[in-house]
Structure 1
Amino acid sequence: MIKNLLFDLGGVIMDLDRNRCVDAFKGLGMKDPDDFLGLYGQKGDFLALESGEIGADEFHRRIRPLFGNPDLTDAQIDDAFNQFLIGIPVDRLEALRALRSDYRICLLSNTNPIMMESKIAEEFRKEGREMADYFDGIVTSYDARCCKPGKEIFDYAERTCDLVPSETLFFDDSQANVDAARSFGFHAVLVRPGDEFADLLRNFCENLTPAPDVR
Protein backbone atom coordinates (compact mmCIF):
# COMPACT_ATOMS: atom_id res chain seq x y z
CA MET A 1 0.00 0.00 0.00
CA ILE A 2 1.35 3.41 -0.96
CA LYS A 3 1.50 5.75 2.03
CA ASN A 4 4.15 8.24 0.89
CA LEU A 5 4.67 10.25 -2.29
CA LEU A 6 8.24 11.41 -2.96
CA PHE A 7 8.57 14.11 -5.61
CA ASP A 8 11.41 15.46 -7.67
CA LEU A 9 10.98 19.21 -8.18
CA GLY A 10 12.19 20.28 -11.63
CA GLY A 11 10.31 18.70 -14.52
CA VAL A 12 7.72 17.22 -12.15
CA ILE A 13 6.34 20.10 -10.07
CA MET A 14 8.34 23.04 -11.44
CA ASP A 15 8.51 23.66 -15.20
CA LEU A 16 12.06 24.18 -16.53
CA ASP A 17 13.77 25.83 -19.50
CA ARG A 18 17.47 25.01 -19.59
CA ASN A 19 18.02 26.90 -22.85
CA ARG A 20 16.69 30.10 -21.31
CA CYS A 21 19.29 29.80 -18.55
CA VAL A 22 22.08 29.06 -21.03
CA ASP A 23 21.12 32.14 -23.05
CA ALA A 24 21.02 34.31 -19.92
CA PHE A 25 24.53 33.25 -18.91
CA LYS A 26 25.79 33.85 -22.44
CA GLY A 27 24.21 37.29 -22.31
CA LEU A 28 26.35 38.06 -19.26
CA GLY A 29 29.51 36.96 -21.06
CA MET A 30 29.93 33.29 -20.16
CA LYS A 31 31.32 31.51 -23.20
CA ASP A 32 30.35 27.88 -22.61
CA PRO A 33 27.51 27.50 -20.08
CA ASP A 34 26.56 24.25 -21.85
CA ASP A 35 29.71 22.74 -20.36
CA PHE A 36 28.29 23.17 -16.86
CA LEU A 37 24.50 23.07 -17.10
CA GLY A 38 22.64 19.84 -17.71
CA LEU A 39 18.93 19.11 -17.60
CA TYR A 40 19.38 16.34 -15.03
CA GLY A 41 22.68 17.28 -13.40
CA GLN A 42 25.39 19.93 -13.28
CA LYS A 43 29.18 19.95 -13.61
CA GLY A 44 32.11 21.82 -12.14
CA ASP A 45 31.33 24.54 -9.62
CA PHE A 46 27.63 24.22 -10.42
CA LEU A 47 27.77 20.62 -9.20
CA ALA A 48 29.82 21.68 -6.18
CA LEU A 49 27.04 24.11 -5.25
CA GLU A 50 24.31 21.53 -5.83
CA SER A 51 26.08 18.86 -3.79
CA GLY A 52 26.73 21.17 -0.85
CA GLU A 53 30.50 21.17 -1.33
CA ILE A 54 30.45 24.98 -1.53
CA GLY A 55 27.95 27.67 -0.57
CA ALA A 56 26.54 30.55 -2.58
CA ASP A 57 29.30 33.04 -1.70
CA GLU A 58 32.08 30.70 -2.78
CA PHE A 59 30.12 29.79 -5.92
CA HIS A 60 29.87 33.45 -6.91
CA ARG A 61 33.58 33.96 -6.28
CA ARG A 62 34.56 30.95 -8.35
CA ILE A 63 32.39 31.52 -11.41
CA ARG A 64 32.66 35.31 -11.72
CA PRO A 65 35.91 35.04 -13.74
CA LEU A 66 34.03 32.94 -16.34
CA PHE A 67 32.08 36.04 -17.37
CA GLY A 68 35.10 38.26 -17.99
CA ASN A 69 33.47 41.02 -15.94
CA PRO A 70 34.78 41.52 -12.39
CA ASP A 71 31.99 44.05 -11.71
CA LEU A 72 29.22 41.52 -12.30
CA THR A 73 27.04 41.37 -9.20
CA ASP A 74 25.85 38.31 -7.33
CA ALA A 75 22.28 39.37 -8.09
CA GLN A 76 22.97 39.39 -11.83
CA ILE A 77 24.44 35.89 -11.66
CA ASP A 78 21.54 34.62 -9.57
CA ASP A 79 18.95 36.14 -11.86
CA ALA A 80 20.52 34.42 -14.88
CA PHE A 81 20.70 31.12 -12.99
CA ASN A 82 17.03 31.38 -12.03
CA GLN A 83 16.08 31.60 -15.69
CA PHE A 84 16.31 27.80 -15.57
CA LEU A 85 13.02 27.86 -13.63
CA ILE A 86 9.80 28.81 -15.39
CA GLY A 87 7.36 28.34 -12.54
CA ILE A 88 4.78 26.09 -10.92
CA PRO A 89 1.24 25.99 -12.34
CA VAL A 90 -1.34 26.72 -9.66
CA ASP A 91 -3.18 23.47 -10.39
CA ARG A 92 -0.08 21.50 -9.36
CA LEU A 93 0.11 23.36 -6.07
CA GLU A 94 -3.56 22.59 -5.50
CA ALA A 95 -2.96 18.92 -6.38
CA LEU A 96 -0.14 18.68 -3.82
CA ARG A 97 -2.35 20.17 -1.12
CA ALA A 98 -5.19 17.79 -1.96
CA LEU A 99 -2.90 14.74 -1.87
CA ARG A 100 -1.80 15.52 1.69
CA SER A 101 -5.17 14.32 2.94
CA ASP A 102 -4.34 10.77 1.78
CA TYR A 103 -0.52 10.59 1.70
CA ARG A 104 2.61 11.92 3.33
CA ILE A 105 4.18 14.21 0.74
CA CYS A 106 7.97 14.66 0.53
CA LEU A 107 10.39 16.40 -1.82
CA LEU A 108 13.71 14.97 -3.04
CA SER A 109 15.50 17.43 -5.30
CA ASN A 110 18.92 17.98 -6.81
CA THR A 111 18.95 21.75 -6.42
CA ASN A 112 20.96 24.60 -4.92
CA PRO A 113 20.48 27.23 -2.20
CA ILE A 114 20.41 30.12 -4.69
CA MET A 115 17.31 28.81 -6.46
CA MET A 116 15.75 27.33 -3.34
CA GLU A 117 15.87 30.58 -1.39
CA SER A 118 14.65 32.78 -4.25
CA LYS A 119 12.62 31.60 -7.25
CA ILE A 120 11.54 28.24 -5.80
CA ALA A 121 10.41 29.77 -2.50
CA GLU A 122 8.58 32.53 -4.39
CA GLU A 123 6.68 30.03 -6.52
CA PHE A 124 5.41 28.13 -3.50
CA ARG A 125 4.41 31.40 -1.80
CA LYS A 126 2.29 32.70 -4.67
CA GLU A 127 -0.83 31.10 -3.21
CA GLY A 128 -0.09 32.68 0.16
CA ARG A 129 1.56 29.59 1.64
CA GLU A 130 5.05 28.29 2.42
CA MET A 131 6.77 25.12 1.20
CA ALA A 132 6.04 23.49 4.56
CA ASP A 133 2.34 23.75 3.73
CA TYR A 134 2.87 21.40 0.79
CA PHE A 135 5.43 18.90 2.11
CA ASP A 136 5.84 16.74 5.19
CA GLY A 137 9.56 16.50 4.46
CA ILE A 138 12.03 18.30 2.19
CA VAL A 139 15.37 16.82 1.11
CA THR A 140 17.76 18.83 -1.06
CA SER A 141 21.04 17.65 -2.50
CA TYR A 142 22.97 20.53 -0.93
CA ASP A 143 21.65 19.70 2.54
CA ALA A 144 22.24 15.96 2.07
CA ARG A 145 25.65 16.70 0.46
CA CYS A 146 24.98 14.11 -2.23
CA CYS A 147 22.91 13.90 -5.40
CA LYS A 148 20.52 11.60 -7.22
CA PRO A 149 20.84 8.96 -8.54
CA GLY A 150 23.27 7.93 -5.79
CA LYS A 151 22.07 5.60 -3.06
CA GLU A 152 23.28 7.97 -0.35
CA ILE A 153 20.60 10.58 -1.01
CA PHE A 154 17.80 7.99 -1.10
CA ASP A 155 19.06 6.60 2.22
CA TYR A 156 19.14 10.16 3.56
CA ALA A 157 15.54 10.71 2.45
CA GLU A 158 14.49 7.46 4.14
CA ARG A 159 16.01 8.57 7.44
CA THR A 160 14.97 12.20 7.48
CA CYS A 161 11.46 11.68 6.10
CA ASP A 162 10.84 8.34 7.84
CA LEU A 163 10.07 6.53 4.57
CA VAL A 164 9.59 2.84 3.93
CA PRO A 165 10.60 2.33 0.27
CA SER A 166 7.95 -0.33 -0.45
CA GLU A 167 5.29 2.12 0.78
CA THR A 168 6.67 5.07 -1.20
CA LEU A 169 6.02 6.18 -4.78
CA PHE A 170 8.74 8.35 -6.33
CA PHE A 171 8.15 10.73 -9.26
CA ASP A 172 11.11 11.96 -11.35
CA ASP A 173 11.72 13.13 -14.91
CA SER A 174 15.10 11.36 -15.14
CA GLN A 175 15.12 7.72 -16.19
CA ALA A 176 18.40 7.20 -14.32
CA ASN A 177 16.84 8.46 -11.09
CA VAL A 178 13.72 6.33 -11.57
CA ASP A 179 15.82 3.23 -12.24
CA ALA A 180 17.94 3.95 -9.17
CA ALA A 181 14.89 4.38 -6.94
CA ARG A 182 13.45 1.08 -8.13
CA SER A 183 16.74 -0.69 -7.46
CA PHE A 184 16.57 0.61 -3.87
CA GLY A 185 13.07 -0.81 -3.37
CA PHE A 186 10.92 2.23 -4.10
CA HIS A 187 7.99 2.30 -6.47
CA ALA A 188 8.84 4.88 -9.12
CA VAL A 189 7.22 6.59 -12.09
CA LEU A 190 8.94 8.46 -14.93
CA VAL A 191 7.41 11.88 -15.61
CA ARG A 192 7.67 12.71 -19.30
CA PRO A 193 7.08 16.14 -20.90
CA GLY A 194 3.36 16.84 -20.84
CA ASP A 195 2.66 14.41 -17.99
CA GLU A 196 0.93 15.52 -14.79
CA PHE A 197 1.80 13.69 -11.60
CA ALA A 198 -1.84 13.54 -10.48
CA ASP A 199 -2.74 11.57 -13.62
CA LEU A 200 0.30 9.32 -13.25
CA LEU A 201 -0.61 8.59 -9.64
CA ARG A 202 -4.13 7.64 -10.62
CA ASN A 203 -2.86 5.32 -13.35
CA PHE A 204 -0.28 3.79 -11.04
CA CYS A 205 -2.81 3.01 -8.32
CA GLU A 206 -5.06 1.32 -10.86
CA ASN A 207 -2.22 -0.98 -11.90
CA LEU A 208 -0.32 -1.35 -8.62
CA THR A 209 2.20 -4.18 -8.33
CA PRO A 210 4.53 -4.77 -5.38
CA ALA A 211 7.91 -3.05 -5.40
CA PRO A 212 10.93 -5.38 -5.48
CA ASP A 213 12.28 -6.36 -2.08
CA VAL A 214 15.94 -5.37 -2.20
CA ARG A 215 16.50 -5.05 1.53
Structure 2
Amino acid sequence: MIKTIIFDFGDVFINLDKPATMREMNKYKIEELSESLLDINQQYEKGLISSTEFVKYYQTEHSQLQENQFKNSWNAILIDFPEYRYQFLKKLSAEKNYKLILLSNTNEIHIDWVKENVPFFEDFKACFDAFYLSHEINFRKPDAEIYEYVLEQHDLKPEECLFIDDTKENTEAAKNLGIHTWNIEPTREDVIDLFTAKKELF
Protein backbone atom coordinates (compact mmCIF):
# COMPACT_ATOMS: atom_id res chain seq x y z
CA MET A 1 0.00 0.00 0.00
CA ILE A 2 1.42 3.37 -1.04
CA LYS A 3 1.74 5.89 1.79
CA THR A 4 4.28 8.30 0.27
CA ILE A 5 4.50 9.74 -3.25
CA ILE A 6 7.85 11.20 -4.31
CA PHE A 7 7.73 13.47 -7.36
CA ASP A 8 10.42 14.73 -9.70
CA PHE A 9 9.93 18.34 -10.85
CA GLY A 10 11.12 18.66 -14.47
CA ASP A 11 8.84 17.06 -17.08
CA VAL A 12 6.55 15.94 -14.26
CA PHE A 13 5.25 19.37 -13.22
CA ILE A 14 7.27 21.90 -15.23
CA ASN A 15 7.68 21.28 -18.97
CA LEU A 16 11.23 21.02 -20.27
CA ASP A 17 12.90 21.29 -23.66
CA LYS A 18 16.06 19.36 -22.83
CA PRO A 19 18.00 20.03 -26.08
CA ALA A 20 17.30 23.78 -25.85
CA THR A 21 20.39 24.74 -23.87
CA MET A 22 22.78 23.28 -26.45
CA ARG A 23 20.72 24.79 -29.29
CA GLU A 24 21.21 28.19 -27.70
CA MET A 25 24.89 27.61 -27.04
CA ASN A 26 25.37 26.69 -30.70
CA LYS A 27 24.67 30.36 -31.44
CA TYR A 28 27.89 31.18 -29.60
CA LYS A 29 29.91 28.58 -31.51
CA ILE A 30 29.71 25.97 -28.74
CA GLU A 31 28.98 22.65 -30.43
CA GLU A 32 29.48 20.30 -27.48
CA LEU A 33 30.50 20.37 -23.84
CA SER A 34 33.83 19.05 -22.65
CA GLU A 35 34.02 16.25 -20.10
CA SER A 36 35.21 18.79 -17.54
CA LEU A 37 32.13 20.98 -18.08
CA LEU A 38 29.82 17.96 -17.85
CA ASP A 39 31.47 17.21 -14.51
CA ILE A 40 31.04 20.85 -13.47
CA ASN A 41 27.32 20.58 -14.31
CA GLN A 42 27.00 17.69 -11.86
CA GLN A 43 28.97 19.53 -9.18
CA TYR A 44 26.67 22.52 -9.62
CA GLU A 45 23.57 20.32 -9.34
CA LYS A 46 24.97 19.01 -6.07
CA GLY A 47 25.52 22.55 -4.80
CA LEU A 48 29.28 21.99 -4.53
CA ILE A 49 30.10 25.20 -6.41
CA SER A 50 28.39 28.59 -6.45
CA SER A 51 26.51 30.09 -9.39
CA THR A 52 29.31 32.64 -9.84
CA GLU A 53 31.92 29.87 -10.00
CA PHE A 54 29.71 27.88 -12.35
CA VAL A 55 29.42 30.73 -14.85
CA LYS A 56 33.17 31.36 -14.66
CA TYR A 57 33.97 27.73 -15.49
CA TYR A 58 32.00 28.11 -18.73
CA GLN A 59 33.60 31.46 -19.51
CA THR A 60 37.06 29.99 -18.91
CA GLU A 61 36.48 27.41 -21.66
CA HIS A 62 34.36 29.71 -23.84
CA SER A 63 35.59 33.27 -23.37
CA GLN A 64 33.08 34.61 -25.93
CA LEU A 65 30.17 33.87 -23.55
CA GLN A 66 28.70 36.84 -21.71
CA GLU A 67 27.08 35.98 -18.36
CA ASN A 68 23.58 36.90 -19.54
CA GLN A 69 24.05 34.86 -22.74
CA PHE A 70 25.07 31.85 -20.71
CA LYS A 71 22.23 32.17 -18.20
CA ASN A 72 19.66 32.61 -20.97
CA SER A 73 21.04 29.50 -22.70
CA TRP A 74 21.10 27.58 -19.42
CA ASN A 75 17.49 28.51 -18.66
CA ALA A 76 16.24 27.77 -22.19
CA ILE A 77 15.44 24.22 -21.03
CA LEU A 78 12.61 25.60 -18.86
CA ILE A 79 9.36 26.13 -20.78
CA ASP A 80 6.27 26.51 -18.60
CA PHE A 81 4.45 25.10 -15.57
CA PRO A 82 0.81 24.33 -16.46
CA GLU A 83 -1.34 25.49 -13.56
CA TYR A 84 -3.68 22.48 -13.83
CA ARG A 85 -0.85 20.29 -12.51
CA TYR A 86 -0.48 22.56 -9.50
CA GLN A 87 -4.24 22.31 -8.93
CA PHE A 88 -4.00 18.50 -9.07
CA LEU A 89 -1.27 18.56 -6.42
CA LYS A 90 -3.13 21.10 -4.30
CA LYS A 91 -6.17 18.82 -4.18
CA LEU A 92 -3.96 15.81 -3.39
CA SER A 93 -2.32 17.75 -0.57
CA ALA A 94 -5.66 18.88 0.89
CA GLU A 95 -6.94 15.29 0.99
CA LYS A 96 -3.98 14.28 3.21
CA ASN A 97 -4.07 10.63 2.15
CA TYR A 98 -0.36 10.51 1.30
CA LYS A 99 2.90 12.04 2.40
CA LEU A 100 4.07 14.15 -0.57
CA ILE A 101 7.74 14.75 -1.29
CA LEU A 102 9.49 16.55 -4.14
CA LEU A 103 12.93 15.27 -5.17
CA SER A 104 14.57 17.15 -8.02
CA ASN A 105 17.96 17.42 -9.69
CA THR A 106 18.20 21.15 -10.22
CA ASN A 107 20.33 24.19 -9.49
CA GLU A 108 20.17 27.74 -8.20
CA ILE A 109 19.98 29.46 -11.61
CA HIS A 110 17.04 27.29 -12.70
CA ILE A 111 15.18 27.71 -9.42
CA ASP A 112 15.70 31.48 -9.53
CA TRP A 113 14.07 31.46 -13.00
CA VAL A 114 11.17 29.38 -11.68
CA LYS A 115 10.62 31.76 -8.75
CA GLU A 116 10.51 34.70 -11.14
CA ASN A 117 8.30 33.10 -13.78
CA VAL A 118 5.90 30.79 -11.91
CA PRO A 119 3.59 32.97 -9.78
CA PHE A 120 2.25 30.04 -7.77
CA PHE A 121 5.63 28.43 -7.05
CA GLU A 122 5.60 29.11 -3.29
CA ASP A 123 2.04 27.76 -3.01
CA PHE A 124 3.11 24.71 -5.01
CA LYS A 125 6.05 24.19 -2.67
CA ALA A 126 3.76 24.46 0.36
CA CYS A 127 1.73 21.46 -0.86
CA PHE A 128 4.63 19.11 -0.03
CA ASP A 129 5.60 17.59 3.28
CA ALA A 130 9.22 17.90 2.16
CA PHE A 131 10.86 19.66 -0.79
CA TYR A 132 14.32 18.38 -1.72
CA LEU A 133 16.43 20.10 -4.37
CA SER A 134 19.73 18.46 -5.26
CA HIS A 135 21.79 21.63 -4.90
CA GLU A 136 20.44 22.19 -1.39
CA ILE A 137 21.05 18.68 -0.05
CA ASN A 138 24.32 17.93 -1.94
CA PHE A 139 23.05 14.72 -3.51
CA ARG A 140 21.75 14.04 -7.02
CA LYS A 141 19.83 11.29 -8.78
CA PRO A 142 20.51 8.54 -9.74
CA ASP A 143 23.01 8.08 -6.87
CA ALA A 144 21.59 5.68 -4.29
CA GLU A 145 22.51 8.11 -1.49
CA ILE A 146 19.80 10.59 -2.44
CA TYR A 147 17.01 8.02 -2.16
CA GLU A 148 18.48 6.60 1.06
CA TYR A 149 18.62 10.14 2.45
CA VAL A 150 14.91 10.72 1.79
CA LEU A 151 13.93 7.32 3.21
CA GLU A 152 15.96 7.96 6.37
CA GLN A 153 14.76 11.54 6.86
CA HIS A 154 11.14 10.38 7.01
CA ASP A 155 11.54 6.81 8.29
CA LEU A 156 9.93 5.49 5.11
CA LYS A 157 9.59 1.89 3.98
CA PRO A 158 10.59 1.61 0.28
CA GLU A 159 7.68 -0.71 -0.51
CA GLU A 160 5.25 1.97 0.71
CA CYS A 161 6.70 4.65 -1.59
CA LEU A 162 6.02 5.53 -5.22
CA PHE A 163 8.64 7.59 -7.07
CA ILE A 164 7.69 9.43 -10.29
CA ASP A 165 10.45 10.59 -12.66
CA ASP A 166 10.83 11.03 -16.41
CA THR A 167 14.42 9.69 -16.49
CA LYS A 168 14.80 5.91 -16.71
CA GLU A 169 18.10 5.70 -14.84
CA ASN A 170 16.55 7.60 -11.94
CA THR A 171 13.55 5.30 -11.62
CA GLU A 172 15.78 2.22 -12.03
CA ALA A 173 17.99 3.39 -9.16
CA ALA A 174 14.93 3.84 -6.94
CA LYS A 175 13.54 0.46 -8.00
CA ASN A 176 16.82 -1.18 -6.95
CA LEU A 177 16.09 0.01 -3.40
CA GLY A 178 12.60 -1.52 -3.42
CA ILE A 179 10.71 1.69 -4.21
CA HIS A 180 7.73 1.49 -6.58
CA THR A 181 8.26 3.69 -9.64
CA TRP A 182 6.52 5.36 -12.53
CA ASN A 183 8.91 6.28 -15.33
CA ILE A 184 6.60 8.88 -16.82
CA GLU A 185 6.78 9.60 -20.57
CA PRO A 186 6.02 13.35 -20.80
CA THR A 187 5.03 13.33 -24.48
CA ARG A 188 2.12 10.97 -23.83
CA GLU A 189 1.56 10.80 -20.06
CA ASP A 190 0.63 13.39 -17.46
CA VAL A 191 1.07 13.32 -13.69
CA ILE A 192 -2.60 14.24 -13.21
CA ASP A 193 -3.47 10.75 -14.51
CA LEU A 194 -1.47 9.15 -11.69
CA PHE A 195 -4.33 7.18 -10.15
CA THR A 196 -5.33 5.75 -13.52
CA ALA A 197 -1.81 5.02 -14.76
CA LYS A 198 -0.73 3.30 -11.54
CA LYS A 199 -4.10 2.13 -10.27
CA GLU A 200 -2.66 -1.26 -9.31
CA LEU A 201 -0.75 0.45 -6.49
CA PHE A 202 -3.63 2.37 -4.92
How far the C-alpha of 1:107 sits from its partner, in A, is: 0.8
Is structure 2 residue 191 aligned with structure 1 residue 197?
A: yes
SS in structure 2 opposite 1:13? coil
User: Bigger CA drift: 42-51 or 145-154?
Assistant: 42-51
Correspondence for 2:9: 9
Correspondence for 2:113: 119
How far the C-alpha of 1:19 sits from its partner, in A, is: 2.2
CA deviations on 1:85-107 (whole Å, 9 max, x unpaired) are 11111111111111112322111
How high is the TM-score relative to the length of structure 1? 0.82
Correspondence for 2:179: 186
Query: What pairs with 1:148-159 in structure 2 (closer than 5 Å)?
Result: 148-159=141-152
How far the C-alpha of 1:49 sits from its partner, in A, is: 0.5
Correspondence for 1:44: 39
Q: Percent identity?
A: 28
Query: Is the 1:31–1:67 contact (alpha carbons within 8 Å) kept by the matching residues of 2?
Result: no
Matches of 1:3 and 1:98 in 2, distance apart?
16
Query: What pairs with 1:172-183 in structure 2 (closer than 5 Å)?
Result: 172-183=165-176
Correspondence for 2:135: 142
Matches of 1:52 and 1:128 in 2, distance apart?
21
Matches of 1:128 and 1:180 in 2, distance apart?
28
Matches of 1:84 and 1:11 in 2, distance apart?
11
How far the C-alpha of 1:181 sits from its partner, in A, is: 1.0
Structure 2 residue runs without a partner (length 5+): none
Matches of 1:110 and 1:143 in 2, distance apart?
10
Query: Is the 2:115–2:121 contact (alpha carbons within 8 Å) kept by the matching residues of 1?
Result: no
Matches of 2:126 and 2:152 in 1, distance apart?
21
How far the C-alpha of 1:161 sits from its partner, in A, is: 4.4
Query: What pairs with 1:15-94 in structure 2 (closer than 5 Å)?
Result: 15-33=15-33, 43-69=38-64, 72-73=66-67, 75-94=68-87
Is structure 2 residue 200 aligned with structure 1 residue 207?
A: yes
Matches of 2:121 and 2:70 in 1, distance apart?
27
Structure 1 residue runs without a partner (length 5+): 37-41, 210-215
CA RMSD of aligned residues (A): 2.2
**Closer, same or farther in 2 for the Cα pair 1:200/1:113, shift >3 Å?**
same
CA deviations on 1:118-165 (whole Å, 9 max, x unpaired) are 222245x42374443232211122223222111100011223345332
Matches of 2:47 and 2:161 in 1, distance apart?
26
